[in-house]
Amino acid sequence: MATTAATAGRIAATPGAARASRSLWSNAWWKLRRDRLTIGAFILLTIFALLAAAAPLLSEYVFHYRFAQQDLLHTYEKPQFDNLAYLLGTDEIGRSQVVRLLYGGQVSLGVGFVAALVNLTVGIAVGLTAGYFRGVIDDGVTFVITTLNGIPQIYLFLIIAALWQPGPYVLIAIIGLLNWTGITLYVRGQTFSLREREFITAAHTIGARDRRIMFRHILPNVLPLIFVLAAIDVGAIILLESALSFLGFGILPPTPSWGNMLTNGASYFVRAWWLVVSPGVMIFLTVLCLYLIGDGLRDALDPRLKTH
């Protein structure tokens, strides 16, 4: 037909119309590489994680100080460069703050990331299923969530933490298995609205199975906002861990975590401000980096936004 041929001809004349094959993910990566802030945040977070992972090596070969090592002759040492172990000062029983911070990173980052991963996995799976299939499945999920949310969370954590010996793994299990409700409700709500969109009807029309519709059509449309939620989630978990530690139900001394260092240091704030500042800054920077990464990922995954 003349019209069609003319249109095709006009379009074909556009130079450079061909573009390298790009999926949603490679496209996101391509955009992400140009986003300096997100990359910077990612690098900083990676450095934190590597330092935490290398804590035993660093304490032995660089600082020559074990994390539980006490030195009652050098309590409340101010931060100084003369002795590397005192780089960030010492606490009330002469433990090296910097070494404890490195070890604390292992616990805080580990618990934060793994528990958030558990949260996200459960939240996405349950939220998608409930939102997509609705009916009885959704009623059941909603019942469990409202029941869980009806109990003040801190009580729930305290009860469970009192039942089992607290430690990193128990903490991950507790937080991971109790904190998924927020993400589930969010994913469920988004799924509700997305499943009524016409492109989902179109997917049904071409004969797509439920699994394909859930994971290829609905999930990619929920995912970008999930990244932001995940970033907030990791930060919230690190803070939750410190709250539990403060109450004595989180990580038990002498194992350090940023949370228990912060709450412990609070008592000595007037005498030794550095005990509060260093874990505080670490938590702050970690959460900030996560927010930036979440935000950057959301933008990168939206094909409608162009980065320049």
Partner 1 sequence: MAVTPGTGEYTRARSTATAGSGKNLLDVKALKMHFPLTQGIIFQRQVGAVRAVDGIDFFVEKGETLGLVGESGCGKSTTGRAILQLYKPTAGTVNFDGTELTTLGGEQMRKMRRRMQMIFQDPYASLNPRMTVGNIIGEPLEVHNLARGGEKTQRVQELLRVVGLNPYFTNRYPHEFSGGQRQRIGIARALAVEPEFIVCDEPISALDVSIQAQVINLLEELQDRFKLTYLFIAHDLSVVRHISDRVAVMYLGKIVELADRVDLYERPLHPYSQALLSAVPIPDPAVESKRKRIILTGDVPSPVNPPSGCRFHTRCWKAQQICSEVDPEFIEHEPRHWAACHFPGA
Options 17-25, 66-74, 154-162, 227-235: segment touching partner 1 (CB under 8 A):
17-25
CB 192 within 8 A of CB 133: no
Q: Indicate which single residue of 140, 253, 254, 303 sits in contact with partner 1 (rule: CB under 8 A).
A: 303
Options 111-119, 124-132, 156-164, 207-215: segment touching partner 1 (CB under 8 A):
207-215
Does residue 78 touch partner 1 according to CB under 8 A? no
- Amino acid found at 144: V
Options 21-29, 168-176, 263-271, 290-298: segment touching partner 1 (CB under 8 A):
21-29
Does residue 221 touch partner 1 according to CB under 8 A? yes
Q: Indicate which single residue of 136, 163, 206, 270 sits in contact with partner 1 (rule: CB under 8 A).
A: 206
Options 82-90, 147-155, 205-213, 280-288: segment touching partner 1 (CB under 8 A):
205-213
Between 178 and 223, name the residue whose CB sits nearer to partner 1.
223
Give the pair of three-digit tokens for residue 88: 């960030």
Between 213 and 262, name the residue whose CB sits nearer to partner 1.
213
Site string (138-177) toward partner 1, x via CB under 8 A: ----------------------------------------
Minimal distance in Å, beta carbon 205 to partner 1? 5
Minimal distance in Å, beta carbon 219 to partner 1? 10
Does residue 24 touch partner 1 according to CB under 8 A? yes
DSSP codes, the chain: -HHHHHHHHHHHTSTT-------HHHHHHHHHTT-HHHHHHHHHHHHHHHHHHTHHHHHHHTS---TT---GGGTTPPP-SSSGGGTT-B-TT--BHHHHHHHHHHHHHHHHHHHHHHHHHHHHHHHHHHHHH-HHHHHHHHHHHHHHHHS-HHHHHHHHHHHS--SHHHHHHHHHHHS-HHHHHHHHHHHHHHHTSHHHHHHHHTT--HHHIIIIIIHHHHHHHHHHHHHHHHHHHHHHHHHHHHTTSSSPTTS--HHHHHHHHHTTTTT-THHHHHHHHHHHHHHHHHHHHHHHHHHHT-TT----
Q: Which of residues 173-202 bind partner 1 (CB under 8 A)?
A: 197-199, 201-202
Does residue 136 touch partner 1 according to CB under 8 A? no
Give the pair of three-digit tokens for residue 292: 């930036």
Options 8-16, 70-78, 259-267, 284-292: segment touching partner 1 (CB under 8 A):
8-16
Q: How many chain residues bind partner 1 (CB under 8 A)?
A: 38
Minimal distance in Å, beta carbon 20 to partner 1? 7
Residue partners of 128: CB distance under 8 A and separation at least 6: 187, 188, 191, 214, 218, 219, 222
Between 141 and 160, name the residue whose CB sits nearer to partner 1.
141
Residues engaged in binding partner 1 (CB under 8 A): 1, 3-5, 7-8, 11-12, 14, 17-24, 197-199, 201-209, 212, 216-217, 220-221, 301-304
